[in-house]
Amino acid sequence: MHRICHQVQKLVRAAHRVARLPPPLAGGGAPAPDKPVPAFRQEKGNGKALRCLRILVVEDEPVNQLFLRRLLEKMGHSPRLAGEVSEAMQCLDEERFDLILMDIQLPDMNGLDATRLIRANPPAKQDPDIPIVAVTAFALEVNRDQALAAGMDDHLAKPVEVAALERVIARVCLQGS
């Protein structure tokens, strides 16, 4: 019970941090689907331009989906949600993404096997080296090693900390520019 309370407290603190983030664009939300997403935004402080990314979030828990979607939108990115691997594969066939945030425990296939599938047979619209980041409650070093061995590029523990997600995205943004 203590562990559950601790996890809930961490989620609440993270939600408060997300609420304090400035809106990414005029209007305070993600760009309308019919409007183009700006190619770059300025990172505060250092003058480097960071791309606004199209991010596929593969997550089956509705609360986690909502949290990640809002967080990514407030950071200026354009997320699309998939609740299972089969839905994610359909999304990957339909549009190009810059980054995949992949849960490990999913209803139809685990995220490690999904990553192996994407790496072995990348969808036509995707860069074969599309960054895939594990977003999981499995936060031990051995879990990180398993994610990397499966072909993932990084590992984030749940509940996701805003600063950790920003660091991963900045690294992806700067690698792609």
Tell me the DSSP string of the chain: -HHHHHHHHHHHHHHHHHHTSPPSSTTSSPPPTTSPPPSEEEPTTT--EEEPPEEEEE---HHHHHHHHHHHHHTT-EEEEESSHHHHHHHHHHS--SEEEE-S--SSS-HHHHHHHHHHS--TTS-TT--EEEEES--SHHHHHHHHHTT-SEEEESSPPHHHHHHHHHHHHHHH-
Of 20-34, 40-54, 89-103, 136-150, the one with minimum mean pLDDT is: 20-34
Mean pLDDT of 76-98: 96
- pLDDT tens per residue, range 23-66: 443 333 334 333 333 333 444 444 444 678 999 999 999 999 99
